Structure 1
């Protein structure tokens, strides 16, 4: 991991002062020293050159890391828990839980700030620029081919050292991330499995970020930028009140958007109706709660807003193909 864009990750982890330890999965494991906190980072490079980084750690005191790099990279990042702040060449961005972001970078300086006593769980997928360009210039004809022809690394980045696209993590991405985190394969099979999931995540995110707009540059529904911000606000409110969500009309009133635009905009941005999306996120949270082995099925049911335990158990089984009680038993 000492050549090309992997140097970006090397400099980042070196500046965090993590300790390298041998890994059983033919990758690299970096641990937070016990004097500084707890947790670790796992990273591996697949045969195609993609780097996959799984982070789960917590610092005792506020952690600040700075580095610069001349290398170029495309990165897809998912923040499931925690947060912080990053300043990249003069632009400050907040690291937000529940968000997915696509980064393009080259010749930049970065400063990361992580708060104390805050668990951080992220998945990052680093993609070589050459591989990104190969995907974007793939064969075929028609509107998709014409769209991808303009989505070059240089064209998207322009004269800037850094560019970011961001959205909330959708239910499909959440499922793929859970599958990556639950991967039980070892060695070569682990590489194959994780790369397949990473490519699925990359394909869905690029479709949304780069090709999700109509030919005029506006979404097909005609919603304004302000309307789309209100839809994102509605999503945050919905997840913040997951155990007792507002009705569609109340949600519309809270964000200042009529219910028709909210329904159309939500389906456009998240691929599902408002409450189908809420159902998926409830079940995903329940899965995470049960994985700790410390929460009972009935407790998880109530915590994600299901008053009827039997209905919760059946909905969970249909969604994931496994009973919630099996998740808890396996992780106790």
Structure 2
């Protein structure tokens, strides 16, 4: 899912590590006339540098409908005992315990989405003519990114770990979702993320999509370098905006990102597939093996032949 990849790229700024994620559990709940809640919990074998990230996704009002708001979160979490009888408060053995000491505790990456129905947002704003939720006045859709506050993360953990079922589950999720909406609204007003990105134009969804498309093009053709001019043409964006927006989004230049992913792929072909240095150099688009070896050592600290000996 594209939305999943977008927020993962912000939370784990080492894309090659995303392959380590394994879907451990998922849940989807629709609270009628209120919201849709989805959870995807991923576990991993090796330590991952996860940065907690939240997105506020706004769709402007349409004829006969209020604006729609979606909150997306990617946060570091924990999967506890696999026994369904084990909760945050009581272990499967019946003893009280601290979550941090759970013997079956496994680190996770939790992807949580809360999408509020337009009618529900409209009902919240009835009678309030002086202001709107999140001070939303734009006629265009946009995405803004914030770092989840401590209060929001506590709410998210409760939404993931609870024992409610049926109608009680709906009531519980609705109450917690409103807390998230409240905390996010406070943060949104106080902490505009134009400063985080350093690019005001990136608050527009269509421009964010162009940056993501540029990244996808790079990943699709790691064996065929593309110029920034051609890349800008393919995504229909000004070269300067593309370079600035790419670095603001992914924390590195287009060239460095491409080289890093290129060498990571080469590393896999050498170490896991057992291909020869010359074979990998050709597959990665190098006509000169020495140039490939130089680039590989710069990225990994090893010559390709040294990796093969390990």
Q: Whose strand fraction is larger, Structure 1's or Structure 2's?
A: 1
Fold-level match, TM-score > 0.5? no
Considering Cα pairs closer than 8 Å and 6+ residues apart, tell me whether 1 or 2 has the greater RCO.
2
What's the TM-score once normalised by structure 1's chain length?
0.42
Q: Whose helix fraction is larger, Structure 1's or Structure 2's?
A: 2
